[in-house]
Structures are given as structure tokens and as C-alpha cells.
Amino acid sequence: MAACDARDIEGLLTGFTDDTVWVTGTSVARGRAELTELFGSVMVTLPPTLTAGNVRSGDDRIAAQPTERLSWDGVDRESPIARFCQLEGDRIASGKIDREGRAELG
């Protein structure tokens, strides 16, 4: 979360495997190049900040519910989001994001 809040894309990507699949709503990013494009776009257009929330983890899975704050169409929004991640070692191999029942803004 610190890397996201600092807009540190390279730092953020160190937490992901090279072949990560990241799903947000109908958008799917596969691999580092697509993650770099996705996160770079989000950090410029929405600049979100995250606050830690509930976290549950198992051997190779994490479920987390941080709160996301961002600006969309000139309106500041605050939403709990749900993240479900599959791990390989200590890095995210796949993830799915849901924002208040949906992942898409608008």
C-alpha cells in the first residue's frame, strides 16, 4: 500500500510475479508490461490512496479489505474494496478486485 500511495510503480511491481494476472471488473492485466500500464494510468488519472482494513491469509492466499480514496469525475470517493490474491512465495501471482459490489467506476 505504501508503494501505491507513493506512486512508486516499480516498488509496487516488486510484490507481483512476472506473469501475474490482475482482474478489476472487466479489465484484465497479464504480466509486468500490462500491470505497469494499468497502475501507471490509475496513478495519474485517479491517484488513489489506500488505508489498511481487514486481512485474512492462508498458506498461499490473501483476502483484504482496504479503503480506497480517489477522485473520479471531480468527485472525491471513499470505498471499501475487496482484494482476493493467490500467492507464489511472497509475491502475488493473481488477484481480483471488487469495489462496493463492482470493480468498475462510473
Given the candidates 3.40.50.300, 3.10.450.50, 3.30.70.250, 3.40.50.1100, the CATH classification of the domain at 2-99 is: 3.10.450.50
How many CB atoms are located within 10 Å of the residue 48 CB? Answer: 19
**pLDDT tens readout for residues 24-56:** 888 899 999 999 999 888 877 777 888 889 999
**Using 50, 70 and 90 to split pLDDT, how confident is the model at 84?**
very high
Q: Is the pLDDT of residue 105 over 70?
A: no
pLDDT at 85 (0 to 100): 97
**Is residue 33 within 8 Å of 105, Cβ to Cβ?**
no
Q: Which residues contact 22 (CB under 8 A, 6 or more apart)?
A: 16, 28, 29, 30, 35, 38, 92, 94, 95, 97
Distance CA 61, CA 34 (A): 22
Q: Domain locations in the chain?
A: 2-99
**Using 50, 70 and 90 to split pLDDT, how confident is the model at 65?**
very high
The model's pTM:
0.80
Q: Who has greater pLDDT, 68 or 21? A: 21
